[in-house]
Structure 1
Amino acid sequence: MSDESREPFKRLFFALDCAPAQRKAIAQWRSALQLRSGRPVPAENFHLTLKFLGSVGTAQIADICKAAASIRTSGERLTVVLDRLDVWRRAGVLVLAPEQAPPALLRLVYDLEQAVLPFAPQDAPREFRPHLTLARDFRAPVPESATPPEFFLRADRFALFESHKGRYLALASWLLGNA
C-alpha cells in the first residue's frame, strides 16, 4: 500500500452560510409546510453550496485555501433571493432556490471553479443550480405554502466547509468585499 492511499481525507465544499436568525426563519417556514415526506435538514446545516469538492487529501487543504484566497470579488456583499420552492425528483430533495440567480453569484462560482480546478474531481461538468436544501429523501409533490418563500440570503463571505458525521464545520472563509 502506498503512502498516498493512506493519506487522511476530508469531504469538502465551498458555500455561503446562513445567519442564525435566517436559519430560524427558514426552519419555521418549513415547519408550517407540515411535510409528510423526507428527512428535514437540520437548520444549523442550512447553506448555499457554491462548489462541492468531495473527498480531498488533508495535505491539499492549504493549497485549496490559497487558491480560494486568490479570487477577486466585486467588493460587495452578495444577496441571493430564495423565492422558489422546488422538488428535485432525481436527487430526492426539497429545495429553496432563487427564481433568478444574481450575476455576482454566478461569477463567484465560475471563479471558484477555475481556482480549484486542480483539486476538484474531473467528472462531467454540472450546471450550477443555486439552492438551499430543506429535506432529503423527499418523494412527494411540491408542498403548498400559505406564505410564498422570500428569504434574502445575504453573504459578506464564502467559506470552505468540511462535512463530518452529518455536521458542517467551516475550515476557512474569505470576504467577498475588499474591506
Structure 2
Amino acid sequence: MSERWFFALWPDEAVRDAVAARIPALLPVGARATHPSDLHLTLAFLGPLASDVLGCAERAADRIRAAAFDLEIDRVGHFARARVLWCAPASPPDALPALVADLQEQLSTCGLAADPRPYRPHITLARKAAAAPVSEWPTPIRWSVRELVLAAGYGGPGPRYRVRRRWTLI
C-alpha cells in the first residue's frame, strides 16, 4: 500500500493521553479504537503523492505564517456513514479555519485541490463504530496548538501514522 499523506495538528503527550483515557468509556461494542499514537486532527488530506508533489507540498507549508492558538476539545459525536466516533471543539477558534484555508491556498500551487466538502475538524477516536449521539464532555480537554505536521498513513496495525516533518506556528 502506498503512503497516504496529510497535514494535521498532532497533540502533545498530555493531550494525547487525556483523549486516549476517555476512549474506553465511549467505545461502542465492535468498534476499533484509534491507537493513541495515531490521534490527530487532519487539516488537509493529500493522498498518495509523487516525490516531486510531496516536495512541493513541503515548500507550500514552509510559506505558512499562522499564529499558535488554543483548542478546547469538548464534544463527542459520530459520523454515521463512515462509522467513525470522534471528538472535536464545539466552537473552533477562527485561527483553525484560517490555517486550513491558508494551507489549501498554498497547496493549490502544487496542483492539490481542496476537499470540496465543508471542513469539519475532529479527532477520530474509533472506526467501525455504531451510532452515538453528539454530546458535550463535562470537562473539556485544552490543547495549545503550536505546530502543524506532515504525516503519512501506512497499512497494518497501529500506530499507523508517521510524522515526516513539523512546522512551528508563530
TM-score range, shorter chain: 0.7 to 0.9
Q: Is the 8 A contact 1:47 1:132 kept in 2?
A: yes
2:51 counterpart of 1:58 = yes
Q: TM-score, normalised by structure 1?
A: 0.84
2:34 counterpart residue number: 41
Letter in 1 for 2:32: R
1:114 matched to 2:105? The reply is: yes
- CA-to-aligned-CA distance 1:24-75 (integer Å, 9 cap, x gap): 22111112335324110111100000000111112222211111111121xx
Quote the Cα distance in structure 1 between the aligned partners of 2:154 and 2:52: 17
> What's 2:165 paired with?
172
SS at match of 2:48: strand
Gaps (5+ residues) in structure 2? none
Q: Note if contact 1:33-1:144 (Cα within 8 Å) is conserved in structure 2.
A: no
Provide Cα deviations, 1:101-154, integer angstroms capped at 9, x if missing partner. 110011000000111014465476111100001001112323889x63511222
Equivalent of 2:61 in 49, 65, 68: 68
What letter is aligned with 2:121?
P
* 1:140 paired residue number: 131
Compute the displacement of 1:77 (Å): 2.2
Taking the TM superposition and a 5 Å limit, the aligned residue runs for 1:123-162 are 125-142=116-133, 148-162=138-152
Query: Secondary structure in 2 aligned to 1:83?
Result: strand
CA distance in 1, matches of 2:7, 2:37: 16
Secondary structure of the equivalent of 1:133?
A: strand
C-alpha separation between the residues in 1 aligned to 2:127 and 2:11? 18
CA RMSD of aligned residues (A): 2.3
Distance 1:80 1:37 in 2: 30
- The answer for the alignment partner of 1:13 in structure 2 is 6
Q: TM-score, normalised by structure 2?
A: 0.88
**Cα 1:20–1:134 shift into 2, 3 Å:** same
Identity of aligned residues (%): 33
Letter of the structure 1 residue corresponding to residue 97 of structure 2: L
